[in-house]
Amino acid sequence: MKVLIIGSGGREHALAWKCAQDNIVSHVFVSPGNAGTHLEEKVSNVEIDINNFNAIEDFCINESIKLVIIGPEQPLVEGLTNYLHSKNINTFGPSKEAAQLEGSKTFSKDFFVKYNIPTAEYESFDDFDSALKYLDQINYPTVIKADGLAAGKGVIICSNIKEAEEALVNIFKDNAFGAAGNRVVIEEFLEGEEASFIAVVSKDKIIPLATSQDHKAIGDGDVGLNTGGMGAYSPAPIVTNELHKKILDQVMYPTMEGLIKEGSPYLGFLYAGLMIKDNKIKVLEFNCRFGDPETQPILLRLQSSLVELCNAAINDELDSYSIEWTDKHSCGVVIASQGYPENYESNKEVNIKDHDDKGNKLFHAGTKYEDNKILTSGGRVFCATALGNDLKEAQQNAYNLVEKVEFDGSYFRKDIGFKGIK
Ligand code: AMP
Ligand code: GLY
């Protein structure tokens, strides 16, 4: 069978690489893909305009695609799954209604309250004046969030009222996030440690994936600007068995049941971003997709077939599915372009030194292939991912792989995994 993956990041390289290992898969297409997916065996890139649902449908029919996996949030929120399902094309991903969990912070916060899912206190506003007035009534720090999709940049932590006023001016007056900022959520600042909980969900059935933790900040020690994620590891010791059960009972099942009641049952990867303190959980956000970079270390540990897992979810057969992981730990270190998450340069030629690729994998993200060369084309360029008998060994192996990659202005954190090792 043939598979189509939509997207171009490290997550999509990992999804394509994993699908291609499956004996039942003859070929994997990635649209638009990156240099890594271009160079991968049994995988090729295709240029389809992902805003043109009709063109995606035509491609699936012409190539007899038997499974579509949609990586990023944008096409999910825009309804690509709804469209492909209406054309009877086997697709793994939530409907646009269910994807509102990520697509609108107001939707998700109201949903949490309605279904008793623990989250930070909040108010939402669709005009500058009432939001500004509210700033007098709250404690600091506070968190201001653009309602819509903002490529991971729409959350501003404000230490005092002055910063909060500036954030509101930025969002409402200067249109920093475009239409995504037509509304804001202002919420209580939560302290604690963050963890990601990612599962495959189909209606009322769930298969939790191996636990993981991401390092969001740009600098060592978790300081500096927030990014899409500078590295991740799996498993995450913070998610103890007791906490795992609590997350299922207090967050995942109520969410799945709530969506069924709303008439939008979930299908796809469902990602809860959590804050944990004193063994208590609060939901920071939901993502309607697999995490990036969490996908890379998680899939390196997955022993089962990803294609069978997605098909079991689509066919409502998760009940009889059992998923297998290696006991090994994994760690993925993102190599970024200097300047990311702000301005950075692209089109730097990449040199990858020969290396033994047993137990590790260099996933590409912002790369392209031109004239037989690999060039940088994004902020996060690679995720060097490796296994080890424990997290420390996985970390060492991942950093050994990082050493094999050279390009002008490369930047990576030196401490990915420290939270799990400590
Ligand atoms: P979100 O996109 O909502 O997950 O927010 C991005 C990041 O902002 C999170 O991973 C946290 O690091 C931080 N954040 C979001 N909401 C809060 C909050 N209520 N309290 C503290 N930090 C937060
Ligand atoms: N790594 C965080 C995310 O995928 O949103």
Q: Rg of the chain's alpha carbons, rounded to an integer?
A: 21
From first to last of the 422 residues of the chain, give the pLDDT tens digit: 999 999 999 999 999 999 999 999 999 999 999 999 999 999 999 999 988 999 999 999 999 999 999 999 999 999 999 999 999 999 999 999 999 999 999 999 999 999 999 999 999 999 999 999 999 999 999 999 988 988 777 889 999 999 999 999 999 988 889 888 889 999 999 999 888 899 999 999 999 999 999 999 999 999 998 899 999 999 999 999 999 999 999 999 999 999 999 999 999 999 999 999 998 999 999 999 999 999 999 999 999 999 999 999 999 999 989 999 999 999 999 999 999 999 999 999 999 999 988 899 999 999 999 999 999 999 999 999 999 999 999 999 999 999 999 999 999 999 999 988 87
Distance 140 CA to ligand 1 centre (A): 15
Helix segments in 50-189, DSSP class H:
53-62, 73-77, 80-86, 100-103, 105-114, 128-134, 161-168
Pocket test for ligand 1, best of 106, 121, 144, 155 (most atoms within 8 A of CB): 155
**CB under 6 Å to ligand 1: residues?**
120, 143, 145, 155, 157, 187-190, 194, 216, 226, 273, 284-285
The count of other CB atoms within 10 Å of the CB of residue 324 is: 9
Rounded to 10°, the helix 253-261/105-114 angle is 100
Q: How many CB atoms lie within 10 A of CB 188?
A: 14
Q: Is the peptide bond before 293 cis (omega within 30 degrees of 0)?
A: yes
Ligand 1 centroid distance, CA of 155 (Å): 7
pTM over cut 0.75? yes
